[in-house]
Structure 1
Amino acid sequence: MKLAVVTAGLTQPSSSRLLADRLAEAVTRQAQAEVRVIELRDLAVDIANNFVTGFPNARLREAIEAVTEADGLIAVTPIFSGSYSGLFKSFFDVIDNGALAGKPVLIAATGGTARHSLALEHALRPLFAYLRAVVVPTAVYAASEDWGGAADAFTDGLGPRIARAAEELADLLLHRRPRAQAKEEAEEEVVPFEQQLAALRPLG
């Protein structure tokens, strides 16, 4: 299986990347998958040029294909002005709006205060619902106070949220047909038009 991880953090190191790595690690402990991390910071100019030219360059095309061909997706954004970042939204704007249909997605975000955690529900979840993805029930938000606590070696309370969301995504991955298999089955199920037309003709 292939797991794509999209992170829109702008700084280096980035709390969004740190959260993305922890989520991916938690998922792959339960479902073996090849992980591909896509740092949108490195693609910012390519994404902007795509809006101007109407075409992705080779590097952006490779990132888009990694996301659309993956069996599952983890999407993490910093929260700016109560919503996802412009860079995060722009990347998903250049992806065909049917390319993520049926794909299991775990959404997550980081921010300075827990007050912005509802952005996951009023911004990210509707975005992926519009793209017809299957978003796991548990979304993960990490505020500044979540890092460096005493609940485990890294966080205070964040660990159980990560574990629950990762379990939900892993469960979908394990029970979902591989993308290539689903495509083959869909092609096999196509009935030629002539055959359908013959079935409608009256007998005798």
Structure 2
Amino acid sequence: MPDKRVAGISGNITRPSKTRGFVDHIVHRLALNIGASAQTFDIEDFGPSLPNARLLDDLAPEARYLVSQVIEADVLVVGSPTFKGSYTGLFKHCFDLFDPTSLRGKPIIIAATGGGERHSLIVEHQLRPLFGFFEALAMPTAIYASDKDFADGVLLSEAIHARVGQAVDEATRAVARSDWRSIAA
């Protein structure tokens, strides 16, 4: 079993979803690249205790376990569908429960999906600042995919595949550096 772990979290609450498929695609591509195990979670997986939780301790044990899997992963892929120009509320609420230092120095690929190009700045204006707050190591290449980039939930756009490859290469280099974990210390 690989000693490195890649975790993905999708901000979508419906299944199946393009966002989940997109995050999962990136997670598996990265895991293959670095020889890691892979797992992807939807916000839905956190269960009914998430919406009313004000602290991590308010979450059901299963949801706390998922949080621990995200925090303990070597690298993260986070993505959200665009909802009114931003990430989904439960996605943000989930991360509101994390300790502000819990993602410090952790390599993260940020991604989003949306109905059209006008939402593409979500990755730079919403997701990057969120993970900047956590002092995570967000990869320079963020990835946004619109509805036109998919067919039947499958990513078809060569341009988006190229951006995924670029972000995966950046994350691979970050994980390979022996000093990235010292940032979190």
* CA shift in 2, pair 1:48/1:30, >3 Å: same
1:123 alignment partner, one of 118, 126, 131:
126
- C-alpha displacement at 1:119, in angstroms? 1.1
Distance 2:12 2:118 in 1: 19
* CA shift in 2, pair 1:93/1:153, >3 Å: closer
% identical equivalent positions: 34
Q: Supply the RMSD in Å over aligned alpha carbons.
A: 2.4
Partner of 2:51, secondary structure, is: helix
Note if contact 2:115-2:146 (Cα within 8 Å) is conserved in structure 1: yes
1:145-156 to 2 correspondence within 5 Å? 145-148=148-151, 154-156=156-158
Structure 1: 5+ residue runs without aligned partners?
187-204
Question: What's the TM-score once normalised by structure 1's chain length?
Answer: 0.81
CA deviation digits over 1:78-119, x for unaligned, max 9? 011111110110110111111001110000000000110101
Q: Is 1:38 the equivalent of 2:38?
A: no
Distance 2:23 2:164 in 1: 10
Partner of 1:81, secondary structure, is: coil
Distance 2:24 2:40 in 1: 9
Partner of 2:16, secondary structure, is: coil
Which is greater in Rg?
1
Q: Is 1:144 the equivalent of 2:136?
A: no
Letter of the 2:85 counterpart: G
2:93 alignment partner, one of 90, 93, 107:
90
Partner of 1:11, secondary structure, is: coil
1:25-104 to 2 correspondence within 5 Å? 25-51=28-54, 55-104=58-107
* Correspondence for 2:116: 113
Note if contact 2:56-2:97 (Cα within 8 Å) is conserved in structure 1: no
Q: Is 1:168 the equivalent of 2:181?
A: no
Structure 2: 5+ residue runs without aligned partners?
none
Note if contact 2:56-2:98 (Cα within 8 Å) is conserved in structure 1: no
Report the more deviating stretch, 159-168 or 33-42.
Answer: 33-42
- C-alpha displacement at 1:34, in angstroms? 1.2
Question: What's the TM-score once normalised by structure 2's chain length?
Answer: 0.88
- C-alpha displacement at 1:12, in angstroms? 1.6
* Correspondence for 1:194: none
